[in-house]
């Protein structure tokens, strides 16, 4: 069995995330990790909160709290929501951790010693109204590339163009809205990415099977305009990791902090150190250091497309530039955007479903199934309430939930709450087993390739096979003339429930646990389908599960559609 290191893009600390954020990184990372664990692989799944930079300062200011206090509170909120969605992180860390402070400063020292950091005197936006320099995310304006009117000073969220605040048209302060901005001189450190262009391009070319979305964004940044540019890695902020060379002061950089996009990816490594320090693991280096055993680790990252440039270029430049034996990513699974009901999710306007509200109205599995089966892999996707209702009612309630209910209730009424004996499988059972084996192998192939929508479709098709078998075999009719044959049909169907519970676990873990408990069985993956369908022997006791999935009514759909249309307080 292989060892798999998996990281999800770490979410900003500023507030509860919406479903588009969830499906863009954390949820598919959890799906993949759950699948690999179920197949017997050793997995380390890491995530954290991204706590530095402008978003944290602005959110804390709005909340009227010291930024450290605000971040601690929001980490707990995000951690609780992650658990609510059954995200199986081995550790959920914090980029403000002492481990990340030390590691970020150590990387900066190594890069400086390698000649990859230069000091730059530059002019920077200063706001007399606010009485401070304005880092890039404190400034918004019109993107010179696409005309988007709410582009940030570091990047346009609409076209993903990398920007500097001076590039913006009609820039304004995010803090006060002031437009009387002026340029003043300051000093900052820059990572000399441009000198590593050829090395980075060669490294990207060695990555096998990356999604077109990932490689196209990376190549675009390498070749557009003047090619890969050096990147500022410090900011004039109060909150962040102080600029130091390891544990030594950095002359001229007093009062400055490292740029959030420099320290945030380093938190992936620091998170593993936090995992060990929390007593959850005993050796982080075997996952991250190639001189300590990480050579045989396969490292997969999950992220939205807006994060791709930093993970394909800036973070690898940091790793490669340090000249130290750190593990580099093997595969980056990137996602397009999930839009909401004819528009975009909006955190500021409360438009769309946010993670906390989602769990208030329905259990996690309902959301997990829809989001993963509609994951925006090859293009942007759209959440609509009509589609959500249809998917839940047909896929979960009608196909899977109804199958489990019909089989267990019929068995209880005719044979009692134990697996019945008797009967001999025939042609339709052989056909079912052959079709089911093919569909499960297809499911496994898609899961291993991280083709999430295709995997969901194959899984649903496997559920459908059970329903089709039940309709063809018709044990309720068979029972009238041949009770023993009906017993065989129901015995096979009970084993199907067990099999479905196991293979569906990565998508719908709570329903899986409920059905496995009802069947009083283990969770061994069905490597051999014929053998798996004989696991529950005659006499094995089971219970009739409660309703696994209920249907969403039209009234509920209409109410939720109005509730989340953009009036969130």
| Binding-site annotation: residue ranges for ATP | 347
**Euclidean distance between the first and the last CA atom of the chain, given in angstroms as a whole number:** 49
How many other CB atoms are there within 10 angstroms of residue 163's CB atom?
20
User: What are the structure tokens assigned to 32, written together?
Assistant: 């993949």
Compute the distance between CA of residue 501 and CA of residue 514 in angstroms, rounded to an integer.
8
Compute the distance between CA of residue 546 and CA of residue 155 in angstroms, rounded to an integer.
49
CB environment 430-455: b (16+ within 10 A), e (fewer): eebbebbbebbebbbebbeebbbbbb
What is the pairing mode between strands 139-142 and 151-152? antiparallel
Q: 22: which DSSP letter?
A: I
Say whether 383 sits in a helix, a strand or coil: strand
Cα 513 from chain centroid (whole Å): 22
Nearest to 124 by CA among 132, 114, 133, 115: 133
- Please state at what angle helix 260-277 crosses helix 98-113, rounded to 10 degrees: 130
Cα 112 from chain centroid (whole Å): 33
CB environment 45-70: b (16+ within 10 A), e (fewer): bbbbbbbbbbbbbbbbeeeeeebeeb
Compute the distance between CA of residue 3 and CA of residue 44 in angstroms, rounded to an integer.
8
Is the distance from CB of 136 to CB of 261 less than 8 angstroms? no
Q: Which residues are annotated as a binding site for Zn(2+)?
A: 143, 146, 156, 159
In degrees to the nearest 10, what's the CA dihedral of 359, 363, 369, 375? 0
Say whether 186 sits in a helix, a strand or coil: strand
- Burial (0-12, 13-18, 19+ Cβ within 10 Å), 170: exposed
Is the distance from CB of 355 to CB of 81 less than 8 angstroms? yes
In degrees to the nearest 10, what's the CA dihedral of 384, 390, 393, 395? -100
Say whether 42 sits in a helix, a strand or coil: strand
- Burial (0-12, 13-18, 19+ Cβ within 10 Å), 198: exposed
Compute the distance between CA of residue 65 and CA of residue 283 in angstroms, rounded to an integer.
37
Q: 384: which DSSP letter?
A: -
Q: Which residues are annotated as a binding site?
A: 143, 146, 156, 159, 347
User: What are the structure tokens assigned to 368, written together?
Assistant: 């997990």
Residue 80, phi then psi, degrees to nearest 5: -65, -40
Rg (CA), the chain: 27
Compute the distance between CA of residue 129 and CA of residue 192 in angstroms, rounded to an integer.
34
């Amino acid at each position: 069995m292989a060892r798999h290191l998996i990281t999800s893009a770490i979410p900003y600390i500023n507030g509860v995330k919406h479903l588009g954020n969830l499906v863009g990184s954390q949820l598919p990372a959890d799906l993949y990790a759950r699948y690999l664990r179920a197949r017997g692989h050793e997995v380390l799944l890491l995530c954290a909160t991204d706590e530095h930079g402008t978003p944290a300062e602005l959110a804390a200011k709005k909340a009227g709290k010291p930024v450290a206090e605000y971040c601690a509170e929001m980490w707990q909120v995000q951690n609780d929501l992650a658990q609510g969605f059954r995200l199986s992180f081995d550790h959920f860390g914090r980029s403000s951790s002492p481990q990340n402070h030390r590691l970020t400063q150590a990387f900066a020292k190594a890069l400086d010693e390698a000649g990859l950091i230069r000091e730059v005197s530059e002019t920077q936006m200063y706001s007399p109204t606010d009485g401070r320099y304005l880092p890039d995310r404190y400034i918004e304006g019109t993107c010179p590339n696409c005309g988007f009117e709410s582009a940030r000073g570091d990047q346009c969220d609409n076209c993903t163009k990398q920007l500097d605040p001076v590039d913006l048209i009609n820039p304004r302060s995010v803090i006060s809205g002031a437009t009387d901005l002026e340029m003043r001189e300051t000093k900052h450190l820059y990572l000399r990415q441009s000198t590593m262009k050829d090395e980075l391009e060669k490294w990207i070319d060695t990555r096998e099977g990356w999604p077109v979305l990932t490689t196209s964004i990376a190549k675009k940044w390498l070749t557009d305009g003047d090619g890969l540019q050096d990147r500022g890695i410090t900011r004039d902020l109060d909150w962040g990791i102080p600029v130091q060379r390891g544990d030594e002061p950095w002359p001229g950089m007093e009062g400055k902090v490292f740029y959030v996009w420099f320290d945030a990816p380093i938190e992936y490594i620091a998170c593993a150190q936090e995992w060990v320090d929390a007593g959850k693991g005993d050796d982080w280096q075997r996952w991250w250091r190639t001189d300590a055993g990480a050579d045989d680790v396969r490292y997969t990252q999950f992220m939205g497309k807006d994060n791709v440039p930093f993970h394909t270029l800036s973070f690898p430049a940091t790793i490669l530039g340090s000249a130290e034996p750190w593990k580099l990513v093997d595969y980056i699974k990137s996602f397009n955007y999930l839009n909401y009901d004819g528009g975009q999710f909006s955190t500021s306007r409360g438009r769309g479903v946010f993670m906390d509200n989602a769990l208030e109205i329905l259990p996690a599995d309902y959301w997990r199934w829809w989001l993963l089966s509609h994951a925006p892999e090859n293009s942007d996707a759209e959440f609509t309430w009509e589609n959500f209702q249809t998917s839940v009612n047909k896929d979960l309630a009608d196909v899977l939930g109804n199958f489990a209910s019909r089989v267990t209730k019929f068995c209880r009424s005719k044979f009692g709450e134990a697996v019945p004996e008797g009967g001999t499988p025939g042609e339709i059972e052989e056909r079912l087993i052959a079709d089911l084996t093919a569909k499960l192998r297809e499911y496994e192939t898609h899961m291993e390739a991280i083709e999430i929508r295709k995997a969901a479709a194959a899984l649903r098709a496997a559920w459908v096979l059970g329903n089709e078998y039940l309709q063809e075999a018709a044990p309720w009719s068979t029972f009238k003339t041949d009770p023993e044959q009906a017993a065989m049909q129901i015995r096979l169907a009970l084993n199907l429930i067990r099999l479905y519970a196991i293979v569906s676990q990565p998508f719908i873990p709570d329903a899986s646990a409920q059905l496995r408990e009802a069947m009083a069985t283990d969770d061994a993956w069905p490597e051999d389908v014929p053998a798996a369908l004989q696991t529950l022997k005659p006499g094995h006791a089971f219970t009739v599960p409660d309703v696994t999935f209920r249907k969403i009514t039209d009234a509920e759909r209409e109410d939720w559609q109005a509730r989340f249309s953009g009036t969130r307080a």
